[in-house]
Amino acid sequence: MAYTLYVGEKRYSSWSARPWLLLQGLGIPFTERLVSLQPDAAKAGRFSRLPGGRVPVLEDGPVLVWDSLAIVEYLAERHPGVWPADPVARAFARSACAEMHGGFQALRGQLSMDLAARRPQRRRSEAVKADIARIEGLWSEARERFGQGGPFLFGAFCAADAYFAPVAFRFQTYSVAPRGEAGVVMRTLLSHPAVKAWEAAGVTEPLLPDHDLDAMYPDDPA
């Protein structure tokens, strides 16, 4: 079994982070291949060779799996620990990841990921505030109901932690301070060795011109 994971720059690619963190966090061997998000003349050609024209993509011999949640489920069929063992906890974890995958549009659109940036963002829309509150609720409920076996959302590190670690990155960038148990979750996620390794690599990557937060949010001074 020899996986290859195609990812974008760690500084920006939250979707790439999710399967990378899961593989790394569970100790599943893989090879990483960068498909740069750099907006140069060759970008279209680089991405045209990937299913769906985007990252991440997992290659397993002749099998290509694209979309982060599909990759998670593919790995869950082959490796223990991807999801919680308890069926009730597993259902909650899957639902939370699916909600992150398809929802939180305001958070993703208005708090873009940039690991190297620190931007307090004094102005937050009501939609962003609602997304933050919902995430606080999800994290707190997961810990209260299922977190007895360890420090992560469902006790042991699993796909849900990998899925929400990029949210913790965003909260760090924009000085979002979750309350209560959710704040503990954020600190726990950011302290995981795989998460720290992704961040350490990402902060050293160069700024991409179409990802400049000052240009993207000119009316929201840091």
User: Residue 222's pLDDT is what?
Assistant: 44
Q: Is residue 120 situated within a structural domain?
A: yes
Question: What CATH number does residue 29 fall under?
Answer: 3.40.30.10
Over 70: is that where the pLDDT of 160 sits? Answer: yes
Q: How far apart are CA 90 and CA 111, in angstroms?
A: 28
Of 47, 76, 105, which marks where a domain is finished? 76
| Alpha helix stretches (DSSP H) within the chain | 14-25, 43-48, 68-76, 87-102, 105-110, 126-146, 159-173, 181-191, 193-202, 213-216
Mean pLDDT score, 39-54: 85
Of 76, 97, 119, which marks where a domain is finished? 76
Over 60: is that where the pLDDT of 136 sits? Answer: yes
Q: How far apart are CA 100 and CA 131, in angstroms?
A: 10
Range of the domain at 26: 3-76
190-222 confidence digits (pLDDT tens): 999 999 999 999 999 988 876 767 666 666 654
Are 46 and 17 members of one domain? yes
User: Residue 219's pLDDT is what?
Assistant: 62
- Number of compact structural domains in the chain: 2
Q: How far apart are CA 108 and CA 100, in angstroms?
A: 10
Are 54 and 142 members of one domain? no
Mean pLDDT score, 108-125: 89
User: Residue 30's pLDDT is what?
Assistant: 98
Contacts of 174 (CB under 8 A, 6+ apart): 111, 119, 120, 121
Measure Cα distances from 160 to 27, 163, 206 in Å.
16, 5, 29
Mean pLDDT of the chain: 93
Strand order in the sheet with 30-34: 30-34, 3-7, 57-60, 63-66
Q: Is residue 152 situated within a structural domain?
A: yes
Are 180 and 152 members of one domain? yes
Cβ count near 86 (within 10 Å):
14
Strands 30-34 and 3-7: parallel
69-113 confidence digits (pLDDT tens): 999 999 999 999 999 999 999 999 999 999 999 999 999 999 999
Are 126 and 176 members of one domain? yes
**Residue 128: helix, strand or coil by DSSP?**
helix
Q: Is residue 189 situated within a structural domain?
A: yes
Percent of the chain with pLDDT over 70: 94
Mean pLDDT score, 174-179: 95
Counting beta carbons within 10 angstroms of the beta carbon of residue 189, is it exposed (0 to 12), middle (13 to 18) or buried (19 or more)?
Answer: buried
Question: What CATH number does residue 169 fall under?
Answer: 1.20.1050.10
